[in-house]
Amino acid sequence: MEKVDVIDRRILNLLMQDSRQSSRQMASQLKTSAATVLSRMQKLEKSGVIKKYSALANYEKLGYDVEVVINIKISKGKLFQVEKKIAVHPNVFAVYDVTGDYDVVVIARFQNRRALDAFLKNIQTYDFVEKTHTTLILNVIKDERMGV
């Protein structure tokens, strides 16, 4: 792909603010044509810069009041095996390889403490999970995508 320029970045930022806006709306804000916006969006999609379009849900309004960060220590080089197993769980929305005392950070949401408890007890039975450390998120101060 050609280098991402200032116009491409402005298109990306507009899409991250509201992916439902039309190419005409974006073109008006960018002082360019809708055809330019569309062709650049297609270029960004084709190159993989734009991975997908999605809606951001308010999980608290959907009943998912318990949000946690789970640090996991994995043994015997089975990191990817364990991560893949955890990543398919419907309450898990992020799995990261990290440095430090733990190997994996999982971010998940649950409707209640019982559901969280069941999830934790389940992953603690996985082969190669040495230990977990769970932190309850009390308040979210910022949770938004970074501009480019």
70-117: pLDDT as tens digits: 999 999 889 999 999 999 999 999 999 999 999 999 999 999 999 999
**Domain count of the chain?**
2
pTM for this model (two decimals): 0.84
Flag whether 145 is in a domain. no
Spatial contact of 116 and 110, defined as CB atoms under 8 Å apart: yes
Q: How far apart are CA 79 and CA 13, in angstroms?
A: 34
Q: How far is CA 108 from CA 28, 95, 133, in A?
A: 39, 9, 13
Q: Rounded to a whole number, what is the largest CA-CA distance in the chain?
A: 57
Domain enclosing residue 43, as ranges? 6-47
Flag whether 108 is in a domain. yes
Whole-number average pLDDT of the chain: 95
